[in-house]
A and B are shown apart, each in its own frame.
Chain A
Amino acid sequence: MKVPSLRRLGFALAAPAMAVAVALVVSSIVLVISGSNPLAAYSDMINNASKLETSIDILNRATPLYISGVAAAIGFRMNLFNIGVEGQYLLAAFFASVAGGAVNLPPIIHVSMVLLVAMAVGAAWSGLAGVLKVTRGVNEVISTIMLNFIATGGIIAGLIVVWQDNTGQVNSGTTPIPKSGRMPDLNSWVEIFTREIGKGRRLTGVLLIAIVVGVAYHLFIDRSRLGYEFRASGYNPFAARAGGIAPKNMVLWAMFLSGAIAGLVGMVEVLSDSYRYDQSFVRGLGFQGIAVALLGRNTPLGIIVAALLFGFLDASAGTLQVSGSASREIVVIMQATILLAAVVAYEVVNRLRQKDEAKTASALLAGSAS
């Protein structure tokens, strides 16, 4: 069994390695054309990432990306494209901020309440697309995109004026969540490993939630019966149906669960950064999550690697600008080429792997028959 599992590992690593290599080549070409030195830019990025404060930065950025990636992956595992993570997390963050800012509760209960509101709102908003698909046959891609606009341009834009904390600030937003409803940072944990001071950076406590989400996602998708039904529906919906897996139930479950996790994406900001929903609330994490899930092949571990990679690239954007070795947009180009190359590379490697497996199977059979 040693050799086949090594082969499998080789196949698993081949695609991301190819993708990163292609991205490096493409980015280098772009850098050269725009008059920058690629080697200088890359060494700036790597030098910078080895600094403690950048590491914390990367983790803080990777945390919401990971949660968002898992939310998208839940749908992808059964060929449902929840493009609505964006609207779901923004709407969830908005209502969770309003709810969290409106009450005063004991610490743990207060945080839990905010989390629950966020998950419930996310699940409801995503579930709406699920219900539309099951009852009226509306394609979830279309409904979730439209629900994104309704969430941000309609509900949030309409209600934030009503619920904003009118303290005369330029950047108006909801009432900040009081101390009891905030997640403590993990800087004390960082100090266990290093005495270096993080230069004002705070490692977000939501990282713990992301870890719980990751473990739960693994147990759910790889170990539970419902997870098996998810994967079976994703592999072959017709066979799944003939096997007694009701397709409509699966769609509803997938959209609810995906939405519930999506609801947690904004919690880094709500529980450990700005403590409220304001005009400059971070956007785009939902769409980045789709990229992260694709790059991570929808697996719990793969999404971690993808989220860290994207977090690293995001964190590098600022560095490049400061050092002047390249423009910050190169990071977006890199993310895009990695993703594009990854999708192609996965398909190529997948075909090679299937051929290899079939060949090994028949070779082993021939060996055992003679």
Chain B
Amino acid sequence: MANAIELVGITKRFPGVIANDNVNLTVEMGEIHAVCGENGAGKSTLMKILYGMQAPDEGRIMVNDIEVKLTSPSDAIELGIGMVHQHFMLADQLTVMENVILGSEPMKRGIIDLAGARRHLTEVSESYGLTVDLDDLVETLEVGERQRVEIIKVLYRGADVLILDEPTAVLVPQEVEELFHNMRDLKAAGTSIIFIDHKLDEVLEIADTITVIRQGHTVATVKPGDVTAHELAELMIGSELPSPQTTASTVTDEVALTIDGLTVLDIDDRAVVDNVSLRVHRGEIVGVAGVEGNGQTELINAIVGTEPQSSGTITLFDNDISLASVAARRGLGLAYVPQDRHQEGLLLAAPLWENAALGHHTRPPFAKGIWFDREGARARTEQIRAAFDVRTPNVDVPALALSGGNQQKLIIGKEMISDPKLFIAAHPTRGIDVGAQAAVWQDIRDARAAGLATLLISADLDELIGLSDTIVVMLRGRLVAILDPAEITPRDLGAYMTGVAVQQGAA
């Protein structure tokens, strides 16, 4: 059979890392080809190269057995390669149809040919079995539907090779099944699909061929029938998978964080956090589960103090911190690992010791009266580097020179080393490699054993179930279930997260 895509000897270097090192990938026509590997293994870079977003330093790209040179995504689209990004790129205020034709509107005598577009679009979505109402506003759609819109958008532009970048990351299990169903239909219609994933059961279920990438190298290309999930995991990480299991319960009776009737309104006065009440005890990890965008971010922001609440109280031990400043809350022992370390966690261009000071700069060893204590800051950063295994040549390099995992270890280290009383961790292991992930889990477990109260927000359901003592589920701003992680599977959790299952009397 002919090859739809062939990548030969692709090498791509970034400052400080080799993202792809002599990577080879062959995708046959009409197959579903999974590219898997850990976070940071180089999958996304490879896809960006294939989609023309980045130029490889070395190597050749062949489409339909003809060598091509891609300088921009429009080149790729021209060749029938379409990409659905992990983060959707849709205009909320437009309808599905308007979103799909945006940027390639069919014109008839200088005006947009809406009727023609609708005909074409209906044809496309019907022939691939992708159902979605063309006149719905995108903002009213569920995540799975938005993803379908993205796929239709790509097909509408004539793609016969589809790249899906971690399509299941934002979906709950039920939506994943629907996506897989769509993918099989697309395949039957002759479309080749490359999809990126690191969830092994999903990969084994849907893929025809699997290429495993580890640390920028292609380690193997296998058929799902020939490997077990266990073997695939070993290929991906090169050793046994670590697990996030916690040990015996260390939950105490002492309540650290009390939230009562907390409501946060968005800019349109809609309640994004709706009358939430929650307790976190010393030595307890409370996990917050929820499909992204159901109020978890706003809940954290209200607790940390970066977003104003409209009603309710937040109490840290005996202090009512509902109206306190971020600095005051931190002074009372609140530590915070933000969900996006580049956006909220780091001063990328500043040296590590200035980063370590952030949030602690008003207290020794970072402060000496009104002065910033540079020596104290350096010494403390050295301490963090040693205690949390932050791999860096010295503490004077800028934060951007560190890999994602080491950046995250620095953030967790700077928050943990100051003996906090309440730890808010938002997606603490997102986008970091397995080694760093295991280290972060161990840090959180150690802190729990030492009596720290932790609120953990994560999209990784295994992480939530493995680490938490209690799991609460957020749906449309409300707490809809309180669950015991010992008795729940990711599938059941998914059912609560989407509202398919409802717990009596939880809200």
Mark A residues whose CB is within 8 Å of B: 223-229, 231-232, 235-236, 238-246, 354-355, 357-362, 364-365, 368
Contact = CB atoms under 8 A, between A and B. Distances in A.
B323 interface: no
Contact of B358 (A225, A243, A355, A364): A243
Nearest to A350: B349
Closest 9 CB pairs of A and B: A358-B15, A364-B393, A244-B327, A358-B16, A243-B359, A235-B347, A243-B358, A361-B401, A362-B16
B166 interface: no
A77 to B, nearest CB: 12
Contact of A361 (B329, B330, B392): B392
Interface string B313-346: 0000000000001111111000010100001111
Nearest to B393: A364
Nearest to A5: B396
B347 A354 contact: no
Contacts of B401: 354, 357-358, 360-362
B372 A224 contact: yes
Given A235-B347, A238-B343, A362-B17, A243 B372 contact: no
Contacts of A231: 347, 350, 354
B29 to A, nearest CB: 39
B362 interface: yes
B343 A357 contact: no
A227 B306 contact: no
A273 to B, nearest CB: 36
B346 A359 contact: no
B420 interface: no
B170 interface: no
B372 A227 contact: yes
B361 A368 contact: no
Q: Which of A223, A238, A243, A358 lies at the interface centre, i.e. has the most chain B CB atoms within 10 A of its CB?
A: A243
B304 A225 contact: no
Contacts of B362: 225, 244
B225 to A, nearest CB: 38
A228 B354 contact: yes
A368 B325 CA distance: 43
Contacts of A364: 393-394
Interface in B286-334: 304, 306, 325-331
A360 B401 CA distance: 9
Contacts of B354: 228, 231-232
B370 A226 contact: yes
Given A232-B347, A232-B350, A241-B344, 11 more contacts: A225-B362, A228-B354, A231-B347, A235-B350, A241-B306, A242-B306, A243-B359, A244-B327, A357-B398, A361-B393, A365-B392
B324 to A, nearest CB: 10
A357 to B, nearest CB: 5
B393 A365 contact: yes
A144 B110 CA distance: 44
B400 A223 contact: no
What range describes how many residues of B lie at the interface? 35 or more
B349 A235 contact: yes
Contacts of A225: 361-362, 367, 370-372
Contacts, number: 112
B343 to A, nearest CB: 5
B333 to A, nearest CB: 13
A300 B61 CA distance: 51
A355 B348 contact: no
Given A236-B348, A242-B344, A354 B391 contact: no
B162 interface: no
Contacts of A368: 393
B402 interface: yes
B456 interface: no
A243 B355 CA distance: 10
14 contacts: A223-B374, A225-B362, A227-B372, A228-B372, A235-B348, A239-B338, A239-B343, A242-B304, A244-B329, A245-B326, A354-B349, A357-B15, A360-B397, A361-B393
A354 B359 CA distance: 25
B357 interface: yes
Given A238-B343, A241-B306, A359 B367 contact: no
Interface in B397-423: 397-398, 400-402
Given A223-B372, A225-B370, A240 B391 contact: no
Contact of B330 (A235, A239, A244): A244
B325 A244 contact: yes
Contacts of B392: 361, 365
A354 B397 CA distance: 10
A240 B344 CA distance: 8
Contacts of B393: 360-361, 364-365, 368
B238 to A, nearest CB: 16
B363 to A, nearest CB: 10
Contacts of A232: 347, 350, 354, 358, 361
A239 B361 contact: no
B371 A355 contact: no
Given A224-B371, A232-B354, A244 B400 contact: no
Interface in B354-400: 354, 357-359, 361-362, 367, 370-372, 374, 391-394, 397-398, 400
A238 B15 contact: no
Contact of A229 (B331, B336, B361, B374): B361
A231 B129 CA distance: 54
Contacts of B402: 361
Contacts of B331: 244
B196 to A, nearest CB: 25
Contacts of B367: 225
Given A244-B359, A361-B392, A239 B397 contact: no
A245 B327 contact: yes
Given A243-B358, A244-B362, A246-B326, A361 B397 contact: yes
Contacts of B350: 231-232, 235
Contacts of A243: 326, 330, 358-359, 361
A368 B394 CA distance: 11
B325 to A, nearest CB: 6
Q: Which of A236, A238, A355 lies at the interface centre, i.e. has the most chain B CB atoms within 10 A of its CB?
A: A236
Interface string B212-227: 0000000000000000
Nearest to B351: A357
A274 to B, nearest CB: 38
A224 B344 CA distance: 23
Given A227-B372, A238-B343, A242-B345, A361 B361 contact: no
A334 to B, nearest CB: 30
